[in-house]
């Protein structure tokens, strides 16, 4: 009986209602919450005409010593001061120092001693065993070989220049250093280090934040000044890299950049297979097979070999090295670039890594490129690790292995999701280079949004994040929750995933599907990515671009979703049912009233069950005095005719959670059919918490 609940009007009439809370201005502009626009960053959210950015080029030579797990390196940095400021000192990141015993382990957050605590957790808390860690800086010298003074503050080093580095000029200097590569399993939240395989006495080295790197100097903060405390990741400058990596002769190196000397480090067979892979677009080609990798594991060469890589316009550089690696590769064709997608994994990753890893890279490359801009680099690599995923330009370390060759469907989905996610970080923050140490959500949130879209589009059998997923978190204890606009290291360890990954993802999904609409939103998201590629965007730049490119005022959405911990909880507090009842209607007599029959007592707000039927009200003819000076008159009979026999509902909605959001009402009819009504968020403009709608 569809007619039973049929809606009367498509035009909704709003009725004000007394508020029980002071006015909260939820639709007022958020200008006071954003950094003001200027000539570097415009009010439209685009980089301004005066936008500038520093640059750092690196030439690095590094050696892994497998006998004592140390990395020794020398680097020459050319730093370009493109800012309008003269700089009397420079700051360099020394992230390895976070592992020094004398430094706080900011990674441990569940810092309570309890009965039954295991030894590894106790080590995380107390660092009872003093594993060697942190940099030994051997020298810093200028291009003429003269030593430069420096001061180390925890994970950062200040380079004191004899003369200021003038605006528009460059400086070249060199640093010699070494550090013990740490065992990944001995540190909480360890993103790099080595993994030891006792069965065959081999090691997989995952080498990242390994060389002293220039801190960011920019127009919003000057020198980036937040220390590495493990949760907040990195803020880095773009530049070109020439890197020479010396490893045991039987190791295989997977790295950021393009291999410059394949003739010296790869066999003829491996080079031929790589050439075949460049032409293989439908499936990967094995460059190193399982049998070859297992044979390689036995070698234990004490000789060395140097791999040379070159990378252009990247903000970081990482690599992995081991004699355990299987290696597969295939080409992925994008509209403006053909990329080599490659996976490196020990046999412990089989069979799932051989079946899924490179395929997952391909899916990520295709979906992200379509949503933003084509992946610009020549290679995209996934390296298998024991746990967690971690991203770097062109290469990511991705956790997940089967047990005895078996893997559950959910574990496999998790592993594929991790690969997609870490490959996706090539866009955010490796190219659209926001400050991870400050705003984790800017890269994790935007990346998770596209990662979930990739899963939904390419792996429809897997679960993906939907707005429903975030409801339990957002409706949790407000004494613990923080707004998304909380800096990375101020978030609790057990909720950064929900707050910085999931909640921004759902926010973007709602903008795309419910608030802005897919076509406009997708173009605006693409606009943001293209405006800020190879640049350093701030939250304001994202917020402003999404409004500017869609002609949509989203300040109310940003205010609630990003700056508060309010949640969505709307209560349907009352529904009243009215029906026009035609009785003795005399169309000749326009003064006669029409009876409208309605449910129960219309004075109280108490919900009714409709058992007593619709409520009776009178609809009178409009008196002449109501028209004032207007000469037109409504056709009273036409109104009566339109309403005749139809249902009218007055719906009262209470906003319990506090977030202003669109209201979706699903009408379920007695014949089993249903209809969706979407009321825009703007219905809350004049009322904070409670409103009535006539439908």
Point out which residues bind Zn ion (CB under 5 A).
444
Minimum CB distance to Zn ion, residue 152 (Å):
29
- Name the token pair of 576: 């009243």
Minimum CB distance to Zn ion, residue 213 (Å):
19
- 57 vs 491, beta carbon nearer Zn ion: 491
Burial of 251 (0-12, 13-18, 19+ CB in 10 A): buried
Minimum CB distance to Zn ion, residue 565 (Å):
22
CA distances from 29 to 33, 188, 566, 647 (A): 9, 42, 18, 39
SS3 labels along 261-306: CHHHHCCHHHHHHHHHHHCCCCCCEEEECHHHHHHHHCCCCCCEEE
- 233 vs 548, beta carbon nearer Zn ion: 233
- 205 vs 501, beta carbon nearer Zn ion: 501
Minimum CB distance to Zn ion, residue 359 (Å):
20
Strands 379-385 and 395-399, bridge-based pairing: parallel
Minimum CB distance to Zn ion, residue 195 (Å):
20
- 428 vs 556, beta carbon nearer Zn ion: 428
Minimum CB distance to Zn ion, residue 156 (Å):
23
Minimum CB distance to Zn ion, residue 379 (Å):
20
- 366 vs 444, beta carbon nearer Zn ion: 444
Minimum CB distance to Zn ion, residue 421 (Å):
5
Q: Which of 412, 428, 293, 289 is nearest to 359 (CA)?
A: 412
Long-range contacts of 3-7 (CB under 8 A, 24+ apart): 4/647, 4/669, 4/670, 4/671, 5/647, 5/667, 5/668, 5/669, 5/670, 6/646, 6/647, 7/649, 7/667, 7/675, 7/677, 7/695
Nearest residue relative to Zn ion (C-beta): 444
CA distances from 262 to 77, 157, 253, 265, 382 (A): 26, 36, 11, 5, 20
- 100 vs 421, beta carbon nearer Zn ion: 421
- 328 vs 444, beta carbon nearer Zn ion: 444
Spatial neighbors of 126 by CB under 8 A, at least 6 apart, are none
Spatial neighbors of 655 by CB under 8 A, at least 6 apart, are 569, 570, 571, 684, 688, 689, 690
- 274 vs 502, beta carbon nearer Zn ion: 502
Sign of CA dihedral 96, 100, 103, 109: positive
Query: How many helices (H) does the chain have, and how many strands (E)?
Result: 14, 31
- 205 vs 500, beta carbon nearer Zn ion: 500
Helix 467-474 to helix 503-510 angle, to the nearest 10 degrees? 130
Minimum CB distance to Zn ion, residue 424 (Å):
8
Residue pair 71/63 in contact (Cβ under 8 Å)? The answer is: yes
DSSP SS3 for 36: coil
Minimum CB distance to Zn ion, residue 444 (Å):
5
- 180 vs 539, beta carbon nearer Zn ion: 539
């Amino acid at each position: 009986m569809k007619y039973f609940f049929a809606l009367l009007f498509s035009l909704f009439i709003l009725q004000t209602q007394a508020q029980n809370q002071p006015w909260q201005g939820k639709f007022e502009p958020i200008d006071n919450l954003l950094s003001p626009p200027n000539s570097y960053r415009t009010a439209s959210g685009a980089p301004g005409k005066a936008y500038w950015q520093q640059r750092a080029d690196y030439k690095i030579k590094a050696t892994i010593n497998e006998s004592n797990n140390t990395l020794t390196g020398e680097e020459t940095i050319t730093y370009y001061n493109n800012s309008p400021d003269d700089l009397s000192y420079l700051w360099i990141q020394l992230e390895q120092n976070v592992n020094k015993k004398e430094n706080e382990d900011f990674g441990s957050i569940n810092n309570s001693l309890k009965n039954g605590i295991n030894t590894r957790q106790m080590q995380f808390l107390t660092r009872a065993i003093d594993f060697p860690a942190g940099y030994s800086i051997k020298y810093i010298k200028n291009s003429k070989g003269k030593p430069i003074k420096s001061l180390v503050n925890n994970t950062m080093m200040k380079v004191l220049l004899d003369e200021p580095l003038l605006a528009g000029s460059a400086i070249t200097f060199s640093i010699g250093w070494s550090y013990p590569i740490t065992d990944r399993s001995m540190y909480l939240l360890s993103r790099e280090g080595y993994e030891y395989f006792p069965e065959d006495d081999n090691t997989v080295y995952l080498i990242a934040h390994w060389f002293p790197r220039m801190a960011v100097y920019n127009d919003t903060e000057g020198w980036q000044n937040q220390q590495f405390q493990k949760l907040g990741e990195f803020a880095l400058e773009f530049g070109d890299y020439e890197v020479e990596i010396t490893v045991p002769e039987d190791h295989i190196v997977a790295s950021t950049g393009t291999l410059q000397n394949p003739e010296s480090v790869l066999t003829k067979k491996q080079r031929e297979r790589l050439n075949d892979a460049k032409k293989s677009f439908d499936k990967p080609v094995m460059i190193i097979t399982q049998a070859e990798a297992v044979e390689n594991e036995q070698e234990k060469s004490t000789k060395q070999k140097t791999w040379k890589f070159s990378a252009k316009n990247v903000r970081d550089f990482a690599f992995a090295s081991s004699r355990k690696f299987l290696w597969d590769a295939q080409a992925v064709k994008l509209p403006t670039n053909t990329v080599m997608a490659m996976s490196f994994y020990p046999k412990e990753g089989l069979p799932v890594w051989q079946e899924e890893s490179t395929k997952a890279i391909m899916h990520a490359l295709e979906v992200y490129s379509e949503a933003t801009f084509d992946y610009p680099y020549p290679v995209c690599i996934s390296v298998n690790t024991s746990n967690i995923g971690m991203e770097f330009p062109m290469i990511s370390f991705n956790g997940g292995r089967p047990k005895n060759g078996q893997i559950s469907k959910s574990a496999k989905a998790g592993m594929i999701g991790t690969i997609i996610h870490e490959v996706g970080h090539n866009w955010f923050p490796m190219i659209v280079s926001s400050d991870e140490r400050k705003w984790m959500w800017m890269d994790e949130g935007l990346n998770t949004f596209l990662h979930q879209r990739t899963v939904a589009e390419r792996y429809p059998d897997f679960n993906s994040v939907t707005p429903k997923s975030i409801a339990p978190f957002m409706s949790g204890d407000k004494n613990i929750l923080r707004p998304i606009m909380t800096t990375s290291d101020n978030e609790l360890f057990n909720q950064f995933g929900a707050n910085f990954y999931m909640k921004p993802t759902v926010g973007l999904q709602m903008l795309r599907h419910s608030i802005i609409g897919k076509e406009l939103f997708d173009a605006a998201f693409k606009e943001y990515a293209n405006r800020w590629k190879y640049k350093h965007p701030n939250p304001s730049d994202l917020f402003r671009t999404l409004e500017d490119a869609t002609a949509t005022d989203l300040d109310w959405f940003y205010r609630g979703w990003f700056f508060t911990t309010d949640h969505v909880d709307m209560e349907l507090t009352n529904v009243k049912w009215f029906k026009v009842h035609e009785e003795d209607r005399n169309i000749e007599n326009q003064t006669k009233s029409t009876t409208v029959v309605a449910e129960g007592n219309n004075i109280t707000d108490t919900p009714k069950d409709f058992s007593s039927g619709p409520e009776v009200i009178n609809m009178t003819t409009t008196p002449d005095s109501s028209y004032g000076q207007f000469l037109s008159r409504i056709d009273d009979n036409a109104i009566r005719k339109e309403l005749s026999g139809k249902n009218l509902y007055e719906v009262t909605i209470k906003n319990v959670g506090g977030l202003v959001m669109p209201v979706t009402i699903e009408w379920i009819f007695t014949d089993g059919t249903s209809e969706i009504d979407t009321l825009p968020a703007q219905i809350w403009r004049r009322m904070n918490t409670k409103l009535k709608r006539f439908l």
